[in-house]
Amino acid sequence: MDKRPLGRTGLDIAPLVFGGNVFGWTADQKTSFALLDRFTGAGFNAIDTADVYSAWVPGNKGGESETIIGEWLKARPGQREKTVIITKVGWLGGSGGKGLSAGAIAARAEDSLRRLQTDYIDLYLSHRPDPDTPIDETLRAHEDLLRSGKVRAIGGSNYDATQLRAALDSAAAGNLPRYEVLQPEYNLFDRGSYEGALRDLCIAEGLGVITYYSLASGFLSGKYRSEADLAGKARGQRVSKYLNERGMRILAALDAVAAAHQAKPAEVALAWLIAREGVTAPIASATSVEQLDSLIRSAQLALSADDIAQLNQASA
């Protein structure tokens, strides 16, 4: 499968990233192993996780996703060198300090490396801006990890255009390593926070961009079209905000394009992202091999200019 350069990181990734937030939450270890085997077997190579996944599950404390990925890597000799591991820091509290302080980053990185059972992280992201820590301190902590070889590249998640510009300027002024990748929320419904100044900045600076909530918490799969469809669903609260006139208009356009390609709405929604300027690859997760096979098909789905125009108009 063709790989895309991830900004200026020196890393190349296939045009779909597996979202490891489900590991240790809605996918147990056996299921997670099967999903990772199928994903990498299809030619994909990037897995996204975070030290906080999945602390929201009763009985969990964070790190469960990284632990499962580490066990999978251990059980698959030779796989580590072929896999781009993306993890994040800055949301989980605990020893070493909170947020993106130097102490927190140093301590959390060691924890992630131990759980992942590896001696390096390919891409280490600041999970969210930390207003209590100077950006210079954060970048110097990342610099230490880069110099030691424990991290290969760095980036940021949930930064707006002003925050990202400040981080890039600070790196340049202090001769520090800069964020080379952004991980924003972006999908057919949630377009406003990335499109415009933030996307323009990423394109101008040559940043790699990996989108999260690429299927709007599953809404763009077409599974949820009414409040009744959300009953008993873990994502019900997140998805309910999409059940409005605009959301239904987007689903109708997805249905029409999907029918024309004998595809599923989720496949079309991901193919739209893959085709967008300013997007390296979307993140998508699955909890069954059947779901995963559908996601895999999105990377082979070529949308026409008319298809994209129809989707753009519906989601405008």
Domains contained in the chain, CATH given: 4-315 (3.20.20.100)
Catalytic site residue 212? no
Task: Give the pLDDT score at 95.
Answer: 59
Task: Give the pLDDT score at 238.
Answer: 83
Task: Give the pLDDT score at 200.
Answer: 98
- Reported as a single tens digit per residue, the pLDDT across 204-247 is 999 999 999 999 999 999 999 988 888 877 666 789 999 999 99
61 and 93 Cβ atoms separated by less than 8 Å = no
Looking at the chain, the whole-number percentage of residues with pLDDT higher than 70 is 97
Tokens of 105: 């980053």
Task: Give the pLDDT score at 311.
Answer: 98
- Closest Cα partner for 18 from 210, 301, 269? 210
Q: What is the mean pLDDT of residues 14-42?
A: 98
Task: Give the pLDDT score at 94.
Answer: 62
Task: Give the pLDDT score at 98.
Answer: 78
Of residues 92 and 217, which shows the higher confidence score?
217
Task: Give the pLDDT score at 232.
Answer: 74
- Cα separation, 70 vs 256, whole angstroms: 41
Residue 97 has pLDDT above 70, yes or no: no
Residue 96 has pLDDT above 70, yes or no: no
Q: Which residues contact 18 (CB under 8 A, 6 or more apart)?
A: 35, 36, 39, 44, 46, 47, 48, 283, 284, 285, 286
Task: Give the pLDDT score at 2.
Answer: 92
Q: What is the mean pLDDT of residues 7-32?
A: 98
**What b/e string do you get for 207-245 counting C-beta neighbours within 10 Å, with b at 16 or more?**
bbbbbbbbbbbbbbbbebeeeeebeeeeeeeebbebbee
Task: Give the pLDDT score at 293.
Answer: 97
- Closest Cα partner for 239 from 273, 213, 269? 213
Overall pTM surpassing 0.85 (yes/no): yes
206 and 186 Cβ atoms separated by less than 8 Å = no
159 and 120 Cβ atoms separated by less than 8 Å = no
Question: How would residue 86 be classed by pLDDT, with cut points 50, 70 and 90?
Answer: very high
- Cα separation, 95 vs 118, whole angstroms: 21
Task: Give the pLDDT score at 135.
Answer: 98
Neighbours of 176 (CB within 10 A): 17
Tokens of 91: 């949301």
Task: Give the pLDDT score at 230.
Answer: 86
Task: Give the pLDDT score at 229.
Answer: 85
Parallel, antiparallel, or unpaired for β 4-5 and 84-89?
A: unpaired
- Closest Cα partner for 208 from 122, 92, 294? 122
Give me the amino acid identity at 45.
Answer: N
- Reported as a single tens digit per residue, the pLDDT across 244-266 is 999 999 999 999 999 999 999 99
